[in-house]
Structure 1
Amino acid sequence: MRNPTLLATLAMTCSMPLWAVQAPVKVQVPTLAYDDQQIILVWEKPGNHADIVDYHVYANGKLLGSSNTNNGEVSPAKPYIDRFYQQDVHNFHHRIAIHSYTAQGLKPDTEYRFTVRSVDRNGKESAPSAAVAQRTTPVPALFDVKRYGAKGDGSTLDTAAIQSAIDACSVGCKVLLPAGTYKSGALYLKSNMTLEIAEGATLLGSERAEDYPRDGYIQYPYSTTVRPASLINALPRDPRKHQAFENIRIVGKGTIDGNGWKRNADVRDERGQPLPFYLPSDNTRYMHDGVLAKAQVERAVAEGMNVKDAYGQMRSSLITLRDVTNVFYGGFTVLNPAYHGIMNLETRNVVLANTTHKTYDANNGDGIEFANSRGAMVFNNFFDTGDDCVNFAAGTGADAVHQKAQEDAWIFNNYFRKGHGMVVAGSHTGAWIQNILAEDNVSDGTDAGLRMKSTNFMGGGARHVTFRDSAIRNTVKQAFIFTLDYNDPNAKLDYKRSTVAGQFRDINVSDVSVENAGTAAIEVKGDSQHNAFHQGLVFERVRFSGPAPVKIEGLKDSRFDNLRFSETNGANPWQVSNSQGLAFSDVEPAPKP
């Protein structure tokens, strides 16, 4: 006798495709990534995402649009990513996936329910993701700095007026810099506020050293180095006191300009767009090249500090936040810091989205740095920097073991143009840098891709780092570098050396394309004299085009699987020494015995 239910089940099974489109997972709203008009969503790709080419986002059951199209509207990285792939005429590079969406034009104080569906090459949608609900904020109380006396004429010092607006700001308020150029010294934010630099507005750092308190903060509790305040700070105004902060947003389509260095003639980038080029400098040239940098070093030297220490310690960064829970940076452009760009010290839950960093070639002009912090998202940003683009630090030497690790970060959908490295761990590795995921990024012209650097007396290291699904072209130096041979000529060794070397371990690199690396495709430098080996490096499904070799020294217990090397000019790329326990599988060309 036939079983109708069984027959129907078999018929349904036979009609199903062999591969069904999988829905994205962990759809979420990043920390403070919403206001009264917009909400940003991000999500993780499903496990089987090879045929997924886009994502559709729905609000309250209605289609809002696609992630690819939306990304072109909000992300300064997207036009550069698109051009990168347009130039890839041989289809060599790994194609990244865009997995964020900015819902705009929303109503204030209104709840929205979002779902996301994957879209395959045939336009077929997956089932919806799990829903996420988010309410926009009420319209915030507005504190316009002009109502507090700010002129915005580019020459009047507006520090007091802007600070008055910040101090008057009520919980949940917005301090607004409307169109204009606001020259200012150090500003101090407080909890539960938004600072908005509007389109057409520039917050311009004063060129006078005296406008930045000299005793701003100490980088680490065991340091003797005292750094000056930055242009924007979430720090105690009395550095002898501790103060915690929460819920700070810095947003807008305007510009934050540190006024650190003289500007050389602008250059044209690969899209024909103008980019600033700041005079590269060091502690012998700052007096000719610097603006604020020059003034701050000269002040410190006049007060008795030697030039090397003054140059390495007494220049202001653009933004410094310490001990802040919940931070959102969004939309603005960063220019010309005298020292670093955006510094996050001992913070929790920090998001950097849709920002533009044009700091090349300002000395030490990093993009964003996290130190001893937990929880970070960095996505949809354009980096053209004078130092590391995204950097992680965790303390120095023996005393760093008493600090918290730097951990839990997700870096995706960024474009890296210039910079010492796309994603960088070190050189301050003492308390460990761990649980870092960098994926779906594109780089063209950085010094290195994944850059890990420490010393044999720093301690700690980096572990549990994943770098995947990305495309790299034209690195000046290495595509991947893991080294204990790092030296910073401006660093002051004001800490107790560790008896343990830094180490890089449990690092996974997969599904990455590298074209035209400079000095090395992969470089590993341990310290075999001190029995300091890196270990647990895994490279899978990585392809290289170009003659750059693989240089490995001081590595153990690591695996290389499904690696391809082309355009090597007939040379075997592998140069391996003082290493042990290395496994190679399906590698062409393979290492020589």
Structure 2
Amino acid sequence: MPYQPLQKTSARWALALVAISCSPLSWALQAPSRLQVPTLAYDDQQIILVWEKPLAHADIKDYRVYVNGTLLGSANGNNDQVSPAKPYIDHFYQQDRANFHHRIGIHSYTAQGLKPDTQYRFTVRSVDGSGKESADSAAVVQRTTKVPAVFDVTTYGAKGDGIHLDTLAIQSAIDACPVGGKVLLPKGTYKSGALYLKSNMTLEIAEGATLLGSERAEDYPLAGYIQYPYSSTVRPASLINALPRDPRQHQVFENIRIVGKGTIDGNGWKRNADVRDERGQALPFYLPSDNTRYLQDGVLAKAQVEQAVARGMNVKDAYGQMRSSLITLRNVKNVFYGGFTVLNPAYHGIMNLETENVVLANTTHKTYDANNGDGIEFANSKGAMVFNNFFDTGDDCVNFAAGTGADAVHQRPQEDAWIFNNYFRKGHGMVVAGSHTGAWIQNILAEDNVSDGTDAGLRMKSTHFMGGGARNVTFRDSAIRNTVKQAFIFTLDYNDPNAKLDYRRSTIAGQFKDIRVSDVSVENAQGAAIEVKGDGEHNAYHQGLVFERVRFSGPARARIDGLKDSRFDRVVFSETGVANPWQLSDSQGLTFNEVEPAPL
């Protein structure tokens, strides 16, 4: 069952708080709710659990997980073992000596070392600072899988030496894999062109293994996919695909897992010298390029753009449309990505088009500063969970899209996503809605995330001719430091210099409405704290923004233009250096309660 974020109106939220405060059990520690196993988040040895924190969670410091009535461990301790985000989150709070930042809660657990084909019963209890436990949550019962049939690519002729092309060997293993089977890349470096997955299989890149994208454009078929039904350009295949071989055909897939502790490297760009991150760890830094520098900066990106230009395409369109992403899945129901590291895509990272029930857990994305090197993107899809991931990306970290222009109204919306317990280091935005908003992006919950150094926190972008927008989005219980441009931005002034306008413009502007931001701390925002840009010329306004208990420290201000019927409660600015951090224009119906400093 896909996760559907619980949306509450302000009135319902207030009534819920009153009910809790008046209840005889109001002082009892509450158990977590909606304990569940995410889609395909289990195999023959492990099961991943997630849950929702109680509404009253201020006193909760940890959660304890029980299996068949016996204590298994704590969420915080388990997260130390499995999440690549956790060391960075811990370091972030170690630097918060003034105790300025909101403290996030960890609400997942990976049960490891289990027996194959065995049923387990799990419950979870909340724990306060004194060690007191709540009652059990509702139980969830899950059976591990049988030990799968394993198809080792080396038995099909893969060399794994990083020199020979292993595409045919790996594809042969995939084609031979039966329902429920696993294709394994053991330790080694496997250079490959486009690979095509099928339903009901697992692709595992083992620890010490690298799937390395070929640097040759001809190894990625040009009959890859079209972005939307009305798009005019056929894009090349990605390194890993679940796509019909004919991009104009409709093919449905299901139950695909891509897992392992190895690496998927797109070989897109030349690598600059490594940088040392805030923990002293080495991180790759790829040359930041564009459509004027790709010849000197690119590897696969260079080869693919050169090939497209040689066929007669102009450089701008070739650069914007003809580079391969790392992974592209279309029309897949039930997907699990887990554990691996993503490096150096020629274009985007992981693309999910018209999918259902996709989970990304415990992965590492090191794509900074590869041009357009997003982390994960969802387009016109339903049901997503993104948790325990580390993002250091050359573009948006988690992005949602929903079609472009007038014809997008015939597509389904992008809806129902839950993003939590991630660490965002570099990227254009932590959570991004747009710029393709035509069929609406809706029902998004982002909570308990930490960021240090992204361009923006919550980034919403569209245009006056895109249509649709984003609605029913909640961004809460998070800590942000050192945003480069804006902590929160809602704009109709977005422009992508590489975009191809191969769609009919909508007569309706994009709009962002019913957005709630609560319990967030922002330190040292360098641009705007809050930026809202409507479009008065086209009578386009955002509305229904609610900011509650949000505090900013540093020089950033709020610049609001083109906003209606919105509320700001207990929004605090400190160390701004100005008497009035609020710059308001062309807006109406705004209310401010306990705002410091108050708008003049």
TM beyond 0.5: yes
**One-letter amino acid of the structure 1 residue matched with residue 399 of structure 2:** N
TM-score, normalised via structure 2 length: 0.96
1:489 equivalenced with 2:497 (yes/no): yes
Find the partner of 1:316 among 321, 324, 330. Answer: 324
Alignment map for 1:237-252 (pairs within 5 Å): 237-252=245-260
Q: Which residue of 2 aligns with 1:375?
A: 383
Partner of 2:594, secondary structure, is strand
1:423 equivalenced with 2:439 (yes/no): no
Q: Which residue of 2 aligns with 1:111?
A: 119
Offset of 1:442 from its aligned partner?
A: 0.1
Runs of 4+ in 1 over 4 A off after TM superposition: none
Q: Which residue of 2 aligns with 1:52?
A: 60
Is the contact made by 2:533 and 2:562 (CA closer than 8 Å) also made in structure 1? yes
Looking at structure 1, the residues matched to 574 and 449 of structure 2 have their Cα atoms a distance apart, in angstroms, of 22
Q: Which residue of 2 aligns with 1:547?
A: 555
Looking at structure 1, the residues matched to 523 and 247 of structure 2 have their Cα atoms a distance apart, in angstroms, of 48
Alignment map for 1:97-176 (pairs within 5 Å): 97-176=105-184
Alignment map for 1:191-340 (pairs within 5 Å): 191-340=199-348
Offset of 1:121 from its aligned partner?
A: 1.0
Q: Which residue of 2 aligns with 1:32?
A: 40
**One-letter amino acid of the structure 1 residue matched with residue 217 of structure 2:** A
Looking at structure 2, the residues matched to 579 and 469 of structure 1 have their Cα atoms a distance apart, in angstroms, of 28
Q: Which residue of 2 aligns with 1:589?
A: 597
Offset of 1:572 from its aligned partner?
A: 1.2
Q: Which residue of 2 aligns with 1:402?
A: 410
Looking at structure 2, the residues matched to 367 and 333 of structure 1 have their Cα atoms a distance apart, in angstroms, of 11
Aligned residues: 577
Q: Which residue of 2 aligns with 1:8?
A: none
Find the partner of 1:519 among 512, 527, 531. Answer: 527
Q: Which residue of 2 aligns with 1:11?
A: none
Looking at structure 1, the residues matched to 201 and 460 of structure 2 have their Cα atoms a distance apart, in angstroms, of 35
Q: CA RMSD in A?
A: 0.7
Partner of 2:579, secondary structure, is coil
Partner of 2:428, secondary structure, is coil
Looking at structure 2, the residues matched to 319 and 102 of structure 1 have their Cα atoms a distance apart, in angstroms, of 25
Q: Which residue of 1 aligns with 2:10?
A: none
Offset of 1:47 from its aligned partner?
A: 1.1
Looking at structure 2, the residues matched to 300 and 244 of structure 1 have their Cα atoms a distance apart, in angstroms, of 29
Q: Which residue of 2 aligns with 1:3?
A: none
Q: Which residue of 2 aligns with 1:534?
A: 542
Deviation track 1:524-562 (CA, whole Å, cap 9, x = no partner) reads 000011110000000000000011110000000000001
Looking at structure 2, the residues matched to 566 and 173 of structure 1 have their Cα atoms a distance apart, in angstroms, of 57
Offset of 1:154 from its aligned partner?
A: 0.3
Offset of 1:571 from its aligned partner?
A: 3.0
**One-letter amino acid of the structure 1 residue matched with residue 428 of structure 2:** H
Looking at structure 2, the residues matched to 454 and 87 of structure 1 have their Cα atoms a distance apart, in angstroms, of 36
Offset of 1:17 from its aligned partner?
A: 8.3
Deviation track 1:172-194 (CA, whole Å, cap 9, x = no partner) reads 00000000000000000000000
Looking at structure 2, the residues matched to 106 and 472 of structure 1 have their Cα atoms a distance apart, in angstroms, of 37
Looking at structure 1, the residues matched to 505 and 572 of structure 2 have their Cα atoms a distance apart, in angstroms, of 41
Looking at structure 1, the residues matched to 234 and 319 of structure 2 have their Cα atoms a distance apart, in angstroms, of 13
Is the contact made by 2:64 and 2:72 (CA closer than 8 Å) also made in structure 1? yes
Is the contact made by 2:234 and 2:247 (CA closer than 8 Å) also made in structure 1? no
Q: Which residue of 2 aligns with 1:12?
A: none
Partner of 2:456, secondary structure, is coil
Q: Which residue of 1 aligns with 2:459?
A: 451
Offset of 1:251 from its aligned partner?
A: 0.1
1:474 equivalenced with 2:474 (yes/no): no
Q: Which residue of 1 aligns with 2:567?
A: 559
TM-score, normalised via structure 1 length: 0.97
Looking at structure 2, the residues matched to 490 and 226 of structure 1 have their Cα atoms a distance apart, in angstroms, of 16
Offset of 1:18 from its aligned partner?
A: 6.3
Partner of 2:191, secondary structure, is strand
Q: Which residue of 2 aligns with 1:4?
A: none
Partner of 2:530, secondary structure, is strand
Is the contact made by 2:32 and 2:137 (CA closer than 8 Å) also made in structure 1? yes
The runs of 5 or more residues in structure 1 that have no matched partner are 1-15
Looking at structure 2, the residues matched to 125 and 578 of structure 1 have their Cα atoms a distance apart, in angstroms, of 51
Looking at structure 1, the residues matched to 576 and 365 of structure 2 have their Cα atoms a distance apart, in angstroms, of 34
Looking at structure 2, the residues matched to 409 and 465 of structure 1 have their Cα atoms a distance apart, in angstroms, of 10
Deviation track 1:433-458 (CA, whole Å, cap 9, x = no partner) reads 00000000000000000000000000
Q: Which residue of 2 aligns with 1:569?
A: 577
Looking at structure 1, the residues matched to 307 and 561 of structure 2 have their Cα atoms a distance apart, in angstroms, of 45
Looking at structure 2, the residues matched to 369 and 333 of structure 1 have their Cα atoms a distance apart, in angstroms, of 16
Offset of 1:68 from its aligned partner?
A: 0.2
Looking at structure 2, the residues matched to 201 and 91 of structure 1 have their Cα atoms a distance apart, in angstroms, of 41
**One-letter amino acid of the structure 1 residue matched with residue 259 of structure 2:** V
Looking at structure 1, the residues matched to 131 and 29 of structure 2 have their Cα atoms a distance apart, in angstroms, of 10
Q: Which residue of 2 aligns with 1:13?
A: none
- The range that moved more, 562-571 or 509-518, is 562-571
Q: Which residue of 2 aligns with 1:79?
A: 87
Deviation track 1:491-522 (CA, whole Å, cap 9, x = no partner) reads 00000000000000000000000001111000
Looking at structure 2, the residues matched to 246 and 155 of structure 1 have their Cα atoms a distance apart, in angstroms, of 33
Deviation track 1:370-412 (CA, whole Å, cap 9, x = no partner) reads 0000000000000000000000000000000000000000000
Looking at structure 2, the residues matched to 24 and 40 of structure 1 have their Cα atoms a distance apart, in angstroms, of 16
**One-letter amino acid of the structure 1 residue matched with residue 590 of structure 2:** L
Percent same amino acid among aligned pairs? 86
Partner of 1:449, secondary structure, is strand
Looking at structure 1, the residues matched to 305 and 67 of structure 2 have their Cα atoms a distance apart, in angstroms, of 53
Q: Which residue of 1 aligns with 2:512?
A: 504
